[in-house]
Structure 1
Amino acid sequence: MANKYDRTLSDHFDGHGYSDHGTLWNSSWTTAKTPWDRQQPSVALSDLLLNKPELFEFSTDKTTRTALVPGCGRGHDVLALSTFGYDVYGLDLSARAIQEARKNEEAWNAEGKLVAKKGLLGNRTWLVGDFFSNEWVEKSGVPGGKFDLIFDYTFGCALPWEARPAWAKRIVELLALEGRLVCLEFPTTKPPSARGPPYNFTPEAYLAQLGHPGEKVYSNDTDAIVDGKWAGSPPSKDGLKRLMHIKPERTHLAGMEGDVVEDWISVWAHNA
């Protein structure tokens, strides 16, 4: 099973603590070693938006809706979300990644791929910054610093388990009151003991961590097994509740084993 995950990335990070990760991600971009890049947007996300539009309806008549893609890389999903009418903000810690995203946007334009699927085409804004800081939020100019849709794919799983409580708490802070978080859950079947990134992230772990942001939900610091205290427990008042959890009909090859889809896609909302 471990062979389906590119080992060069794990080798690059091996022996380094979490405090070094930002530098390591940036060096991967500057040396053009980006094995995680899927070279296309998520079909699972597009299928969800097309087939389940009721999950993304607001009680208020908002004329403009915002979306955030943290760890956007070359921005494939940023570009795709804009075709659904969202004003999308692509965020990455690496300035080189954002340079590549701008090139990708130019290529989409040249190829005539930036076409609205519904209504108007949304705007795209590229930001360099640390997901956990407020500087990029202020620079974005998004009212209240809250986003109507957040898409997480190969971002949460790129963080080691020690950083996941803060990841979940930050997601909650950035999600608008009626907003929706969409997670393309990956890698769900990678052994907990296997090196990362990406690190094992099971549906049970998504449920426990997003339902209890800021809490340490794992049984210890050496594996990704959810502590029985959190397994199956209802979300806290400040947590997120899961509205939907399905296997997508289509996903990236990295989320499949032969013809079997291993990814899950989930939709979340504020519990309070």
Structure 2
Amino acid sequence: MNQDSNAAYWQQRYETDQTGWDTGAITPPLKEYFDQIRNKEVRILIPGCGNAYEAEYLHQQGFRNVFLADVASAPLRNFENRVQDFPAEHLLETDFFKLSGKYDLIVEQTFFCAIDPAQRAAYAVKCAELLKPGGLLVGLLFDTIFEKQGPPFGGSREEYRAYFEPYFEFIHFETAYNSIPPRQGRELFMVLRAK
């Protein structure tokens, strides 16, 4: 799927409220992780951010260097309407694979499962490229195979390890103990450090 058709696809999903992955709030694993970050100056990127409840929470907690990227404009506008004092220049309507800059932390929340599985290896490379040395990739991956054709696309921890191991040190990569009920036992929580 090229950039324009990809943007149109996701724009249409948001405009027609076909957003079954949208939890309507930050999920417990990410909230718990964010709550232990003491440095509010870290540069954080949330790619494929969707409605970005994670960014809203971080902003409310005083983090001022949070950047959101999405290929579709609708979720970015939704976020802008909800969080009106968020810096507009931190809302990036672009393809993740065209991003530049350096970040301390990249947050993964349902973006990896939304991209074509053929792009997963490139995703790992791009995350490593965007992170400062020792920067962290933190978030959730579905550890399940979905019955319906994706997105979302499922997978397994063994598959994911193969993508990330060349570029990251695995600090934590286990089944999330505090997933929301519909995802219980089917999510991996990861903390990976860029090599």
Both proteins in one fold, TM over 0.5: yes
Structure 1 residues 89-128: aligned runs within 5 Å: 89-106=67-84, 125-128=90-93
1:205 aligns with 2:159: yes
Structure whose residues are more often strand by fraction? 2
Task: Return the offset for 1:183.
Answer: 2.4
Residue matched to 1:72: 49
Task: Return the offset for 1:172.
Answer: 0.8
Residue matched to 1:219: none
Verify the 8 A CA contact 1:75 1:104 in the aligned structure 2: no
Structure with greater contact order relative to length (CA < 8 Å, sep ≥ 6): 2
The AA in structure 1 aligned to 2:192 is W
Verify the 8 A CA contact 1:165 1:209 in the aligned structure 2: yes
| Count of residue correspondences | 191
Separation of aligned partners in 1, 2:74 and 2:48: 12
The AA in structure 1 aligned to 2:189 is I
Q: What is the identity percentage for the equivalent residue pairs of Structure 1 and Structure 2?
A: 24
Separation of aligned partners in 2, 1:151 and 1:197: 19
Structure 1 residues 37-48: aligned runs within 5 Å: 37-48=22-33
Q: Which of 133, 139, 154 is equivalent to 1:177?
A: 133
The AA in structure 2 aligned to 1:267 is V
Residue matched to 2:188: 264
Q: Where in structure 2 are there 5+ consecutive unaligned residues?
A: none
When normalised by structure 1's length, the TM-score is: 0.63
The AA in structure 1 aligned to 2:92 is L
Task: Return the offset for 1:103.
Answer: 1.9
Which consecutive aligned stretches of 4+ in structure 1 deviate over 6 angstroms post-superposition?
Answer: none
Deviations 1:232-252 (A, max 9, x none): xxxx3xx11211123333223
Separation of aligned partners in 2, 1:63 and 1:157: 28
Separation of aligned partners in 1, 2:75 and 2:68: 10
Name the CA shift for 1:171/1:94 in 2 (closer, same or farther; >3 Å).
Answer: same
Name the CA shift for 1:63/1:103 in 2 (closer, same or farther; >3 Å).
Answer: closer
When normalised by structure 2's length, the TM-score is: 0.86
Verify the 8 A CA contact 2:137 2:194 in the aligned structure 1: no
Task: Return the offset for 1:86.
Answer: 5.2
Residue matched to 2:118: 162
Task: Return the offset for 1:68.
Answer: 0.6
Verify the 8 A CA contact 2:124 2:164 in the aligned structure 1: yes
Separation of aligned partners in 2, 1:154 and 1:99: 19
Q: Provide the secondary structure at the position in 1 that maps to 2:41.
A: coil
Name the CA shift for 1:84/1:48 in 2 (closer, same or farther; >3 Å).
Answer: farther
Task: Return the offset for 1:45.
Answer: 1.1
Task: Return the offset for 1:85.
Answer: 2.9
Q: Provide the secondary structure at the position in 1 that maps to 2:7.
A: helix
